[in-house]
Amino acid sequence: MEPFDAVDVIRTKRDGLVLSDAQIDWVIDAYTRGVVAHEQMSALAMAIWLNGMERPEIARWTQAMIASGERMDFSSLSKPTADKHSTGGVGDKITLPLAPLVAVFDVAVPQLSGRGLGHTGGTLDKLESIPGWRADLSNAEMLAQLEDLGAVICAAGAGLAPADKRLYALRDTTGTVESIPLIASSIMSKKIAEGTGSLVLDVKVGSGAFMKTLDDARELARTMVDLGTDAGVRTSALLTDMSTPLGLTAGNALEVRESVEVLAGGGPQDVVDLTVALAEEMLRLAGRPDADPRAALADGRAMDVWRRMIAAQGGDPDAPLPTARHTDVVTADADGVLDSLDAYAVGIAAWRLGAGRAKQGDPVQAGAGVELHAKPGEAVRAGQPLLTLHSDDEARFARAREALDGAVGIEPAAEGADASGASAGTGSIVLESMS
């Protein structure tokens, strides 16, 4: 005999009341066991999305999801651990260069990553475009790789917060992704169960992020920092701009290629700057405040760790990356200065081109996505390529172009302005920090 009825729990939150600790513990456990049906948890998730949760509720919900599975332990490692989590954006490939970069300084980075959610790309989807690379490692393999070379990017094991795995997929198909309590508890249940000693949160703000406003991003960041700190994890957050795609690519193999450019000492400046900023914060929390990650990108040390990390997981770092069979070029319709390029629209276009999935388990195209040829602040000419769309299926181009309708803003250049195409700059990508 179950101590609660799912309908009563749903009604409690539907009516704007506070769920008790016992209700939360039961509903998470019962959903994991299959006693609470998907449609019932969908209704509860929507009630939470509409009415929110108080801080004690979020904390208890997070602990209940942690308790649904195992907890990892990295205390056997000879080095401190530090991890990073991004709330998701368009063109956000930062994990790829960041993990090996931090590992250069004798800090272990246990980066348990996920697949795409909605219009945002998934780190595992990107890395799986590398021939031979595998995401699934045992705990023993993960520990051995962390001790040996200091960095691993892999899928979370089935035993880590299984309640979150079920709820994560449900949120994506029920319009409840953007709920701050559900985002915070989802992220932090996995990160706390993972066992990292310190954690830096990259909380995205803007059209391409789940948090569209700075106030919402601050609330999410503060909620997660508090959850981590209360659990004994050294936690801080950077609020970063996601009004424009990060870098010049959105799509799986396209983003891997750009990440390798960053590791080779080049790449787009915004990707380099954010990678370095997050590395500095991770190293500070891990007790390495004097490390110089920018130098480690420039001199090839981070690239060395990347190559070893990819090879350790069965990948060939020298293999050619997949490319899409077809391309379609979007051009500027006027002379002027590129004033805006909406991140959300680019993310939806990449998704429609095949870089993302409509439902859990759908395949993704490794070569699909959007390549940017200009960023806001740059001068453009009518007819100049602005975007190249990549897909294996030409029929996808029409709907991708529909997603981009109104996404590009071109303003007349000021009289006497340089029309060479040199970037005018878009300001710092790091908006605020929080600890």
Q: Domain containing 45 — which CATH number?
A: 1.20.970.10
The CATH number for 358's domain is: 3.90.1170.30
State whether 343 and 278 are in the same domain.
no
In the sheet where 430-434 sits, what is the strand order? 82-86, 198-205, 234-241, 430-434
What is the C-alpha separation between 79 and 300, in angstroms, rounded? 22
State whether 121 and 31 are in the same domain.
no
Per-residue pLDDT for 421 more than 70? no
- Half-sphere CA count of 312, side-chain side, radius 13 A: 22
What is the C-alpha separation between 43 and 256, in angstroms, rounded? 38
Q: Any idea which of 170-179, 184-193, 229-238, 339-348 has the lowest mean pLDDT?
A: 170-179
Q: Any idea which of 345-349, 359-363, 406-410 has the lowest mean pLDDT?
A: 359-363
| 167 within some domain | no
| 41 within some domain | yes
Active site residue 55: no
Residue 265 has a CB neighbour count (10 Å cut-off) of: 14
> What backbone torsions phi and psi does residue 235 show, to the nearest 5 degrees?
-130, 135
At 365-403, the pLDDT tens digits run 999 999 999 999 999 999 999 999 999 999 999 999 999
Q: Which among 263, 296, 293 has a CA at the least distance from the CA of 281?
A: 293
Active site residue 11: no
State the pLDDT at residue 422: 40
Catalytic one of 13, 85, 218, 257 = 85
State whether 135 and 243 are in the same domain.
yes
Per-residue pLDDT for 117 more than 80? no
If one counts the domains in the chain, the total is 3
Percent of the chain residues past pLDDT 90, beyond the cut = 85
Q: Are 386 and 331 in contact (CB under 8 A)?
A: yes
Catalytic one of 13, 79, 190, 234 = 190
Looking at 367-413, list the stretches that DSSP marks H as alpha helix, in order from N- to C-terminal side: 397-403
At 298-346, the pLDDT tens digits run 999 999 999 999 999 999 999 999 999 999 999 999 999 999 999 999 9
Q: Average of pLDDT values for 332-361? A: 92
Domain hosting residue 105, numbered range:
82-159+194-319
State whether 280 and 346 are in the same domain.
no
Confidence of residue 413 (pLDDT cuts 50, 70, 90): confident
| 178 within some domain | no
State whether 265 and 304 are in the same domain.
yes
* 167 contact partners, CB below 8 Å, separation of at least 6: 31, 41, 45, 65, 182, 186
At 3-34, the pLDDT tens digits run 999 999 999 999 999 999 999 999 999 999 99
Confidence of residue 363 (pLDDT cuts 50, 70, 90): confident
Active site residue 85: yes
Per-residue pLDDT for 426 more than 60? no
Say which amino acid occupies 97.
P
State whether 207 and 351 are in the same domain.
no
Q: What angle do CA 425, 220, 285 make, to 5 degrees?
A: 75
Confidence of residue 215 (pLDDT cuts 50, 70, 90): very high
State the pLDDT at residue 342: 96
State whether 222 and 266 are in the same domain.
yes
What is the C-alpha separation between 238 and 273, in angstroms, rounded? 13
Q: Are 66 and 193 in contact (CB under 8 A)?
A: yes
| 100 within some domain | yes
| 67 within some domain | no
What is the C-alpha separation between 23 and 248, in angstroms, rounded? 47
Per-residue pLDDT for 273 more than 60? yes
Catalytic one of 68, 86, 186, 391 = 186
Catalytic one of 60, 171, 218, 301 = 171
| 28 within some domain | yes
Q: Are 211 and 330 in contact (CB under 8 A)?
A: no
State whether 331 and 397 are in the same domain.
yes
State the pLDDT at residue 415: 59
Active site residue 299: no
State whether 116 and 224 are in the same domain.
yes
Active site residue 218: no
State whether 229 and 314 are in the same domain.
yes
State whether 219 and 292 are in the same domain.
yes
The CATH number for 202's domain is: 3.40.1030.10
| 289 within some domain | yes
Catalytic one of 83, 92, 164, 241 = 164
Compute the mean pLDDT over every residue in the chain, rounded to the nearest whole number.
93
Q: Average of pLDDT values for 257-263? A: 98
State whether 277 and 224 are in the same domain.
yes
| 68 within some domain | no
The SS3 assignment for 308 reads helix
What is the C-alpha separation between 157 and 85, in angstroms, rounded? 17
What is the C-alpha separation between 290 and 145, in angstroms, rounded? 25
